[in-house]
Structure 1
């Protein structure tokens, strides 16, 4: 796979850029930014993607594979939360995942 990525640098760059944009949007983006700030951020991501491309091609580091694993793990977590939410809606519970249904200050006494 490393050889194929080396033979197709544009596709490798696009993969790195898309993975970085997805990770930025799902992890670091808190709110909608003004257009100019968004442009600066995406240009910075583009420059960072180029630097990571150099690491991938020249130093033969597995950058694309590492970013792919990170995105796959993030998608796995999103699918898991979606399934939990769907199961809670089916059971008539409107509580978010992780909420045990106790009121604040309530304790379990037997």
Structure 2
């Protein structure tokens, strides 16, 4: 897989950029909207950072695989939070008193 990703740099770049954007939006996005110029600047820096990570990916470091693990862990956390929230709302006030 590592060899295939280094042979196809455009696909690797798009995967890295997509992972970075997803991780930013799920973890680091501020609560209120940024002004449009700051938003553009953030995405430009993410695109530049993706290019640097692409160089590391081509140099045989498992960047995409590490991002995939990070995204999988984020999804597991979301599933756990969903289940906990559902369990909390299923309790009745009588159950909470004992």
Give the TM-score normalised by structure 1. Answer: 0.78
SS at match of 2:39: helix
Alignment partners' CA distance in 2, 1:67 and 1:30: 21
CA displacement at 1:91 relative to structure 2: 2.3
Q: How many residues align?
A: 93
Alignment partners' CA distance in 2, 1:52 and 1:40: 18
What does residue 20 of structure 1 align with?
20
Ranges in structure 1 where 5+ consecutive residues have no aligned partner:
94-100, 102-110
CA displacement at 1:75 relative to structure 2: 0.9
**Alpha carbon RMSD of aligned pairs, Å?**
1.5
Structure of higher RCO (CA pairs closer than 8 Å, 6+ residues apart): 2
Alignment partners' CA distance in 2, 1:34 and 1:92: 44
Bigger helix fraction: 2
Q: How does 1:36-51 map to 2 (within 5 A)?
A: 36-51=37-52
Structure with max Cα Rg: 1
Give the TM-score normalised by structure 2. Answer: 0.87
CA displacement at 1:11 relative to structure 2: 1.1
